[in-house]
Chain A
C-alpha cells in the first residue's frame, strides 16, 4: 500500500528525503531503478528541428489568405489534393509491399518476426514477408539460408525456389542455394514439399536435394554449423564448396589447374581466410596462393 505511494512519488520526482530512504528499502527498488535507467536505451532517434522546418517550408505553398486571386486558391487546393492522394497511394503501397531483409557476403542477421518467431539469416540471403497479412498467414520467401525458431501459432510456411517447408512451431534450418537444397529439423516436426512429394522430418532429420537426388540423413548437432561460423560438408563436390566459400569471403577462385569435381568432406571457418583455405586444400592435397582478391588453387 505504502509501496504504491512511494513509487508514484518517485515517478513524479516528489520524494522527500525521508521517503527516499523508505523507497530505497523496498525489495523492488533496484529493479525499478534499473528499468527506469535502461529505458533510456530505447530513446527515440534524434529529431532535428531545423531540418524539419526547412523541409516543411519547402513543402508549403503560400497560405490562401495572402493571395487575393481565386486562381491561386484553386491551384492550392489542387496541389493539396495531389499531395494527399499521392501520399495516400504511397502509404497504401507501402503496406502492401513485402518486407525484405537482405544480407551481403560474410554478413549474418538476427531478426524477430511480428509474432516473436526468430530468424537467423545467413550470408548473401534474402528473406521477404508481408507484415500486413502476417497475422492471418505466416508466409516467408527465402533465397539463401536461414535458421528459424518458430513460436507456436497457425501455419508457418517458408517458400523457396525448390519447394515449400511448412511447420507449426519448431526450430529448423533451410538452405536454398543454386548448388543445393537442404532442410534440417532441430525441434518439432517439419513438412517439406518437393517435386509434388511430401516429406515429414522429425528432430535431427536432414533432407537434402542435390544433383536432382533426394537423400535423407541425421545430424548430431542442435544448431546449424553456420550459426557457429563454420560450414560443414559431406562428400560434396569442390565446386559447391567453393560456391559456399564465396558467401563468406569476398574472393575469386581460379580452379583451372585442378579437378573441381572432386569430393570434399570437412569444414571451414567463416572468419579466418587462411585457416579456411587450409581446411579445404590440405585434405585434397592442394595448395593455394592468395593474390589480392584472387585465390589460385593448384596441385602440390
Chain B
C-alpha cells in the first residue's frame, strides 16, 4: 500500500483530507501531549496543523501530509514556548478504584511512587518521553513510532530503552 501510486496529487479533496485526519489526528495529539504536556492545548495544535494543511493543500501531496502535519504542530507549539518543564498528570481516580480496600500504608507508597514517577518523567528529554509513552502507553510498535517521528527504528529502540533505564534510576534511586 505504501508503494502504491498516489491517487491524488494534492490534499484539496474532502475525502482525502478526512482520511488524513482519521489516520493521524490522534497520533499528532498524543505526540504533542507527551512532548509538551497539556499546557499548550494539544487539541488546538491539531486543529491548527490541519487548517494549515488545508490552506496549503495544493502544494502538498497526501504522502507528504504526515510529515507536514507533524512539523507544523511541532513548530507552532515551539513558537509559543521557550522551554518549560513538562509535567504529565496522572490518573488518580484509576489508582483509587483499584486500591479502594488497600491499607493506608500502601496508598501512601503508591502516591509517593507516582509523584516520583511524575518528576522522573519531566526530567526525560522530550524525545525519550515521546517515544517511551507512545510505546508503553499507546501501544505503538517501534516501527510505527519510527515512521511517525521520521527516525530510524534503531533510534526509537535506543530512546525507549534509555528512557526506561533513566526512569528506573530516578524512581528507585539506583
Interface residues of A (CB under 8 A from B): 4, 7-8, 11-13, 28, 31-32, 35-36, 38-45, 47, 49, 52-53, 55-56, 59-60, 63-66, 76, 80, 83, 87, 91-92, 94-95, 112, 114-116, 131-132
User: Contacts A47-B30, A63-B12, A64-B58: A56 and B51 contacting too (C-beta < 8 A)?
Assistant: yes
CA distance A45 to B84 in the complex (A): 20
Which of A38, A56, A87, A92 interacts with B50 by CB under 8 Å?
A: A56
Which of A8, A59, A63 interacts with B57 by CB under 8 Å?
A: A63
User: Contacts A52-B46, A55-B47, A83-B51: A41 and B58 contacting too (C-beta < 8 A)?
Assistant: no
CA distance A60 to B13 in the complex (A): 13
With A59-B51, A66-B12, A131-B84 known, 15 other A-B pairs at CB within 8 A are A8-B161, A11-B157, A28-B174, A31-B171, A32-B168, A39-B136, A40-B136, A42-B90, A42-B91, A44-B30, A44-B34, A49-B25, A59-B47, A114-B84, A132-B82
Smallest beta-carbon distance A27→chain B, Å:
10
Which of A42, A52, A87 interacts with B89 by CB under 8 Å?
A: A42
Name B80's closest neighbour in chain A (CB-CB): A91
Find chain A residues with CB under 8 A from B64 CB: none
Which of A31, A40, A47, A95 interacts with B29 by CB under 8 Å?
A: A47
Interface pairs (5), CB distance under 8 Å: A31-B168, A35-B167, A36-B136, A63-B54, A76-B55
Question: Which of B28-85 touch A at CB < 8 Å?
Answer: 29-30, 33-34, 38, 42-43, 46-48, 50-51, 54-55, 57-58, 79-82, 84-85
Interface residues of B (CB under 8 A from A): 10, 12, 18, 21-22, 25-26, 29-30, 33-34, 38, 42-43, 46-48, 50-51, 54-55, 57-58, 79-82, 84-85, 87-91, 94-95, 113-114, 117-119, 121, 132-133, 135-138, 141-142, 157, 160-161, 164, 167-168, 171-172, 174
